[in-house]
Amino acid sequence: MKKAKMVISRDFQIAEIDRRIYGNFVEHLGRCVYGGIYQPNHASADEFGFRKDVIKLVKELQIPIIRYPGGNFVSNYYWEDGVGPVSERPKRLDLAWRTTETNEIGTDEFVKWCRLVNAEPMIAVNLGTRGISDARNLIEYCNHKSGSRFSDMRIKNGVKEPHNVKVWCLGNEMDGPWQIGHKTANEYGRLASETAKAMRQVDPTIELVACGSSGTFMSTFPSWEAEILDLTYDQVDYVSLHTYYGNRENNSQNFLASSEDMDNYIKTVSSVCDYIKAKKRSKKTLMLSFDEWNVWYHSNKSDDDKMKNKPWQIAPSLLEDNYTFEDALVVGLMLMTLLKHSNRVRMACMAQLVNVIAPIMTEEDGKVWRQTIFFPFQHVSKYGRGIALTPVLTSTKHDTKDFSDVNDVQSIAVWNSEHSQLVIFAVNRDQNDIIPLTCDVRDFKDYRFIEHIELKHEDLQMCNNANNENVAPKTVPLGELSNGVLKVNLKPTSWNVIRLKK
């Protein structure tokens, strides 16, 4: 019989979860910016041209930090093009996605929009076609109060107070041959180190992220991390991780196990960081920024055709995956993996926020709507605040094409001591059987069972659309909590949020 058992104790602490683990990503790509967050001719647009219907759904996700402006886009981005009077801003050819960038939205507008959705900006600098001086100039523009060339330029552009951007990415995926300005590890490490020094001269309070590998598929992984960190370790605070998963082989069992790869990826990069720490005899423990992650595969073929045959369009529809119910389960599993490593993963960004491989979709002249993947992200962002507890979990297991000893049930708990709340997130990966989950919660003897939220659909390939929210969470009858033992039944292939409160 398939079953799962879990022991939950406030003594089994992983870490206090950094709220920035629930970050997201906005890139000048497809309809993410134009037609996504910004559409001045839309009925819901505010005085700045931002769609208020999009802002409403973004606020539902409670996103604390948003990465910008890329992504591959940043490696040929001239930030000066996106500031000053909009009528005077030049159009540029975006070499990353072979589109035309109008620069109607730039740094000042993006920071303004971040404040509207209660998020902090995370800005990437161009280390592909540009370098030290341009990054230094941008941080002066954003963070220096006044009395210098670029701070006074910001004031002239109508922004009196500094933006005070505290998190900066030193380029993007510089190990990738697809990247404009692709570099070797030595070339990138030297440039990133010197750029970091110059930026910290302007503002010593910033946090900096070095580019790790673009994924475990890279032939240079993880030697890239070792070489670039040998050069940048003393200058940076984080190294980045990127990964995407997809069910290209139509093997749902294997796809639902893909978070096992994410788990191994985090362990490997952490080990490399600790190796460099030991090599340098450093007291600093480098943290991880998982600043691109999601499911991405549905739109690949159509995007290849569009970019080859119709280049230089303005904000064409690109990377617009229509997500299935099983995609939502994988997103939930990836979120739990991030929580499991919250002692090292201090920031993370789902890629991306609107229209482009996104939880939120818009119609050009119509509605905004929630994709299936919106809901697990919303649940974990809302209820996953507090201390992540080590999942002492035993579960029946199975093997898949690429993974062995995969738990039928994956679960983790978060304890919020301030609000006296314990939340258990759980996925039943089995496609056929209800699996009973038994949790020893005797360490929370004064807590009562208050809610069980479930995301479930009989069709793993079911999607949402602008007119029908076919896949949506619902509250289900509570399980049993008696003498410190919690018992719930997890339906086949289901996402579950189980809440206890004192």
Catalytic residues: 173, 292
Which CA distances in Å does 189 have to 123, 175, 249, 339, 405?
19, 11, 37, 29, 38
Phi, psi of 47 (to 5 degrees): -65, -15
| CA distances in angstroms from 179 to 70, 74, 76, 171, 296, listed in the order given | 12, 10, 9, 10, 19
The SS3 call for residue 11 is coil
d(CA 288, CA 276): 14
Strand partners, 191: none
Helices 185-202 & 223-232, crossing angle to 10 degrees? 40
Beta bridge partners of 93: 100
Query: For the sheet containing 485-490, what is the strand order?
Result: 392-395, 4-7, 435-440, 485-490, 480-482
Strand 65-68 vs strand 120-125: parallel, antiparallel, or unpaired?
parallel
Buried b / exposed e across 10-49, counting CB within 10 Å, b at 16+? Answer: eebebeebbbbbbbbbbbbbbbbbbbbbbbeebeebeeeb
CB of 409 within 8 A of CB of 374? Answer: no
With beta carbons less than 8 A apart as the criterion, state whether 366 and 358 touch: no
Strand partners, 437: 4, 488
Spatial neighbors of 154 by CB under 8 A, at least 6 apart, are 83, 108, 141, 142, 162, 163
What count of other Cβ atoms lies within 10 Å of the Cβ of residue 90? 11
